[in-house]
Structure 1
C-alpha cells in the first residue's frame, strides 16, 4: 500500500527563522555611497554611480551576456568603522534568488566580517526569503556600544539596485582601515572567479584573498562568458594603477585554438597600457569528471600548454613580470572531486583551498 508523503515546510517547523527586527525607529539609515563609507570592487562607481563591475559606457562594445553579468555585484565590499550596538542592512535587488545549484545566501545575500585587515572574522549573513527582491536584516546586536571595523560583502550572482546601512541614531561612522596598498588586484575569469557556487559572498576566492592580503580585489568573473575578448582587455586596462592582473578564464574558452588566439592579444593589450604590472596566468581548476573523460584531459592539457608557452615566450622576450600557475593543483590532487557542488563549481572548501594555494604566490608579486 502506497503511503502518501506530506509536503515539508521548514518555516512552519522552525527550520528557517526570519527574525522580526525591533525598534526600527531608533535606527539611522545611511547610503554607503556617501563618506566616510568605502566601497571596494567597483572601479567605475564614482563615474557611473551604480553597483556595476564594468563601465556603463565604453568605446569597446561588450558581449550582451557580459554586459548583463556586469550588474552582478561579485567582489564588491562596503567598509567602515562604527561604534553602533546594532547593524542592519536594507537591500533592493534586481531580482530574487533563482539558481538551482547555489544557495540564495551566496547569490543574493550580504555577509558581515569584523576586524582589521588580515585579522577579519566572519560574524553573520543576512537572513531573507529566497523569493524576495527586497529585504531588511539585522547583522548584529550587542548589549552596549562596541567599536568595530566592518566589511560587508555584496551578493555574487544578482544585481543590487540599492543598499542602506542602519545603525544606532547616535552611532559614529568612521573611515575604514587603510589598505597596505591603494593599488587593486584585478581578477578576470569564469563563473568560478565570480563565486559560483559559494554558500555566501565572503567565500568567493577573491573575497577570501582580500582577507589574507590587505588590498582591494576587483572581481571580473563573468559566468560562462569571459572568453578573453579583446574588448574586455581594453576595458580592464582602464583600471587605475593596478597592482596585479590575474587571468583565470581558460574554463570558458572551449577548443584550444580559442585560447591560443585570445591570450596573446589579451596580454598585449594590457601591456600596452601597463608594461610593468605583474600578470599571473592561472589555468583551469580540476573538475570531478577529469579522471573519467580522456578527451577532456587531453583538451585541458593542450590549453594548459598553450598558456605555459605564452608565458615562456613573453619572458624570453624580456617580460619578467608575467607568471603561470597550474590551476589543476589549487584544490589539491586528492580532494578536487570533493571540493565542488556539481563537479565544476567549488564549494566553500574548494574556494578556501584555491585562496590558500594562491595567496603565497600573489603576495610576493605585490611586494608587500
Structure 2
C-alpha cells in the first residue's frame, strides 16, 4: 500500500514538473487543494522583482494571452499574423494590430489585483468612445456560476499606466478574465498580486472558438469598456473562447482574408462585414468569400448579419442601408439555392432594434446596443454549435 501511494505522489510531481504549471479550480480555498502549493512555487519563480511596489508582479506572457487566432504575430498582443503584412492593406493591418478581443484568464487568491500596461498609440480615446474602451482594461470574476465586473483599468497617461483593478476581495480562490483595449495595442502587460498569493493560469478551454470577422462594430466601437463588446459578452455567456478578427472600416471580404480565416478551426464563423462591404463590394466578393471558407470547412456553421438599421434613416430620403441589405439577402438566398448548407441569417431589425436608442453616433452601438446584439446572436449561436 505504501509503495502504491509513493508511486502516485511521485507521478504527480513528475507531471507538475513537466507541465510547468497546473490549472486550479476557482472558488476553492487554497488550503483545500494540495496542488496549489506547487503552483505557487512555480509561479513565484517567474515573478518580477519591483523594489518600488508592495505587490508581486507577473508578466502576463507567463500565463499567456487568449483570443489569438495566430501565434506568429509581430507583437505579442496583436491579432493578425506577421504574414498579413503582405496581404492586408495598411489600414486593415493597422487595426488588426490592435489588441481587441484578447484577454488573460488567471486564478488567484490575492486580496488585491493590479495591472500595469504599456500602450503603443498616444490616442487614448476617441470623440465617441471612452478611454477605458479604447485603451483601458476591465476585470471580471467568476463567482456563483456567473461572470461579474469587479474593476477597470483607466488609462490616464501615455505610454505606461498602473492601477488597482480590485481590492478588499472576499477571501477565496477565484478565476478572472482581464480584457485588453479595443482600439489600442498593448506592448507590455503585468499583473500584480499580494506577496505570497497563489497565481496560476486558468484551466484551458478545450472547446473550439467562435471566430468573428467584421467592421469597427465587431472590433468593439463604441463599447464603454472592453468587456462590453458583444464578442466579449458572448464569450462569457457561452463559456467558449472567442477570436476577434475585425478590421475596422476594412472588412471587405477579400479572397485573401478568406484564406486567412480558413486557417482557423472554429466551432462557428460569425461574419458581419456589410457595414463596410456595400452593394458593389458584395456583388464582387461575397460568394467567392463564402465558397473559399466552405471549401476549407464544409460543415462549419456560418452566421451572417445584415447591416444595422441606423437610427436616422427613417428621417432621410436616401436609404443606403436598405439597399445593402436587399442585395445581401438576395446573395444569401442564392447560396441557399446552390445548396450551401448550415448558414444562418440575422436581420438588422432582430439584431439591434429600431428605436434608435442603442447608438452613440448614428453608426456605432452603445453598451445597450452590444447587449442587444449579444441577445440576438446567442440563441443562433447555441443552435448552430449544437450540431458541433
Contact map agreement 1:118 1:213 (CA 8 A) in 2:
no
Kindly provide the CA deviation profile for residues 25-81 of structure 1, in whole angstroms up to 9, marking residues without a partner as x: 3322112222xx252211213665611111011496111101111111111110011
Equivalent-residue separation in structure 1 for 2:143 and 2:241 (angstroms): 14
Equivalent residue, structure 2, for 1:40: 66
Instruction: Name the stretch that deviates more: 103-112 or 315-324.
Output: 315-324
1:350 to 369, 376, 379: 369
The 1:117/1:350 distance shift into structure 2, 3 A limit, reads: farther
The 1:144/1:313 distance shift into structure 2, 3 A limit, reads: closer
The 1:24/1:210 distance shift into structure 2, 3 A limit, reads: farther
1:245 partnered with 2:280: no
Equivalent residue, structure 2, for 1:125: 152
Contact map agreement 2:217 2:364 (CA 8 A) in 1:
yes
1:160 to 175, 178, 186: 186
Bigger-Rg structure (1/2): 2
1:71 to 66, 76, 97: 97
1:148 partnered with 2:148: no
1:107 partnered with 2:131: no
Equivalent-residue separation in structure 1 for 2:183 and 2:247 (angstroms): 10
Kindly provide the CA deviation profile for residues 320-349 of structure 1, in whole angstroms up to 9, marking residues without a partner as x: 21111112331223x2x1111111111111
Taking structure 2 as the reference length, the TM-score comes to 0.82
The 1:242/1:57 distance shift into structure 2, 3 A limit, reads: same
* Distance apart, 1:279 and its partner CA: 0.5
1:307 to 315, 328, 336: 328
SS in 2 for 1:250: coil
2:309 to 258, 261, 286: 286
Instruction: Name the stretch that deviates more: 100-109 or 215-224.
Output: 215-224
Contact map agreement 1:42 1:218 (CA 8 A) in 2:
yes
Contact map agreement 1:286 1:329 (CA 8 A) in 2:
no
Equivalent residue, structure 2, for 1:319: 340
* Distance apart, 1:182 and its partner CA: 2.3
Equivalent residue, structure 1, for 2:10: none
Contact map agreement 1:340 1:350 (CA 8 A) in 2:
yes
Taking structure 1 as the reference length, the TM-score comes to 0.86
1:225 partnered with 2:244: no
* Distance apart, 1:361 and its partner CA: 1.0
Contact map agreement 1:60 1:231 (CA 8 A) in 2:
no
* Distance apart, 1:294 and its partner CA: 3.0
Equivalent-residue separation in structure 2 for 1:95 and 1:49 (angstroms): 14
Task: Please provide the CA RMSD for this pair.
Answer: 2.2
* Distance apart, 1:203 and its partner CA: 0.7
Equivalent-residue separation in structure 1 for 2:194 and 2:346 (angstroms): 47
SS in 2 for 1:276: coil
1:61 partnered with 2:103: no
SS in 1 for 2:61: coil
Equivalent-residue separation in structure 1 for 2:365 and 2:85 (angstroms): 35
1:339 partnered with 2:365: no
Contact map agreement 1:89 1:136 (CA 8 A) in 2:
yes
Equivalent residue, structure 1, for 2:118: 92
SS in 1 for 2:97: coil
1:328 to 330, 349, 357: 349
Contact map agreement 1:60 1:235 (CA 8 A) in 2:
no
Equivalent-residue separation in structure 2 for 1:67 and 1:49 (angstroms): 12
Consecutive unaligned residues of structure 1, counting only runs of 5 or more, are 1-22
Equivalent-residue separation in structure 2 for 1:46 and 1:118 (angstroms): 34
Consecutive unaligned residues of structure 2, counting only runs of 5 or more, are 1-50
SS in 2 for 1:275: coil
* Distance apart, 1:234 and its partner CA: 0.9
SS in 2 for 1:29: strand
Equivalent-residue separation in structure 2 for 1:93 and 1:58 (angstroms): 22
2:291 to 249, 252, 268: 268
Equivalent residue, structure 2, for 1:216: 241
Equivalent residue, structure 2, for 1:4: none
The 1:49/1:106 distance shift into structure 2, 3 A limit, reads: closer
Contact map agreement 1:38 1:176 (CA 8 A) in 2:
no
The 1:227/1:274 distance shift into structure 2, 3 A limit, reads: same
Kindly provide the CA deviation profile for residues 73-121 of structure 1, in whole angstroms up to 9, marking residues without a partner as x: 1111100111111111110000231411111010000000000697101
